[in-house]
Chains A and B, each alone.
Chain A
Amino acid sequence: MSPRKAELTAGQREKLLRSIWLLHDGRWFLKAVEEFGFDAATKLNLAVVRSIASTEMKQLLAEMDFGVVGNMGDFQTLMQVAADLYFPEEHKHEFEVVDNNTFVGHVLECYVHKMVSKAGTAAVHRCAAKLRFDSWCRAMGLDGVVINEKDTNNCNGTCDIIFEIKW
């Protein structure tokens, strides 16, 4: 009997890797909740997000030989590449360049909100998006502010994340 064909396209492989990465992160969070409770696990999760976000952006910059992020065009390009690489397909969003200093990520369907709602913890979950994007901006060497006025308990899976960048 010949072996069954068990090959994936690169796109299928990447999609699977993203989904298992998220799964692993979720298991860390759940096991931490079981061990320490929700508040302590949330505190840990936020600390972890801040750290990994910086690393994921620095690594991407290095792999792409991106150089200096010097204007809104560079920023937009990098945000698009990072989103394509790191966000799962089910995360629906649009980017908008408002002006030379303002960039908005319109989140239409948030994958985190979807997972957290499924787990029944949306009322107490703390959104880490602002922390993640603050870390991305720092990793890009940018002087800027990230504004997200919503949290998991009041976003209903949609929000606008505003980046105000000084060049």
Chain B
Amino acid sequence: MRALARDELKEVLIKNWMTHDGMWFYHCLQECGIEKTNRINKAAVRAMGIIEIKRIQKAVGIEKVETLEDFRSLVGAAWDIVKADFMKATFSLPADNILRGDFEQCFAYEGIKQIGAIDQYQCGIFERIYGWFDGVGMKYSVSPEVEGCMMHTDGKCFREITFTFDK
């Protein structure tokens, strides 16, 4: 037996959390089909994201996001907290008001493909991130607008989110 390092603990927690999420999706799918499951999944993750970002804001002491600097700090902190190594994703800031997320691989795509529902799956990953921005009260637009799974249809996945700052 060996003791786990702190980064390993983080990895175990996030892996199990995402598996738990996947099990909700799977059991819901068995019980009521893909249409309702997509609806519940997206609603649950968006609602979670809205509260999640507020908890992160409180924890890291960025209660208001009014400037580009606040935004950069908060996104960086949130990413450090919730991203695990198995999530092969990166984010960048190609312009002051643009956040770009790129997925090299996607654990949701892999998992949903495994249970045979990828054709009709509607992405819940970015719903979480939109929940963050809704929670902070930011104005933004998303490109491209994707309803299904971009990894499935295009073999790659990204979004560019453009923000409007008041200050």
Contacts and interface: CB of A to CB of B under 8 A. Distances in A.
Contact of B55 (A19, A40, A51, A55): A19
Interface in B55-76: 55-56, 59-62, 69-70, 72-74, 76
Contact of A14 (B2, B10, B16): B10
A44 B28 CA distance: 7
Contacts of A7: 60, 77, 80
B76 to A, nearest CB: 7
B74 A55 contact: no
A36 B23 CA distance: 17
Interface string B12-32: 111111011101101110011
A23 B52 contact: yes
Size band of the interface chain B makes with A: 35 or more
B15 A48 contact: no
Given A20-B48, A52-B16, A65-B2, A28 B40 contact: yes
A55 B111 CA distance: 15
Contacts of B44: 24, 27-28, 30-31
A31 B40 contact: yes
Contacts of B20: 21, 24-25, 48, 52, 56
Contacts of B70: 4
A119 interface: no
Given A16-B59, A27-B48, A65-B1, A32 B28 contact: yes
13 contacts: A3-B72, A7-B60, A12-B59, A14-B13, A16-B81, A23-B55, A27-B43, A35-B36, A48-B23, A59-B16, A60-B12, A64-B1, A66-B1
For the complex of A and B, 3 pairs with smallest distance between CB atoms:
A10-B6, A6-B77, A27-B44
Interface of B: 1-4, 6-10, 12-17, 19-21, 23-24, 26-28, 31-32, 36, 39-41, 43-45, 47-48, 51-52, 55-56, 59-62, 69-70, 72-74, 76-77, 80-82
Interface of A: 1, 3-8, 10, 12-14, 16-21, 23-25, 27-28, 30-32, 34-36, 40, 43-44, 47-48, 51-52, 55-56, 59-60, 63-67, 77, 85-86
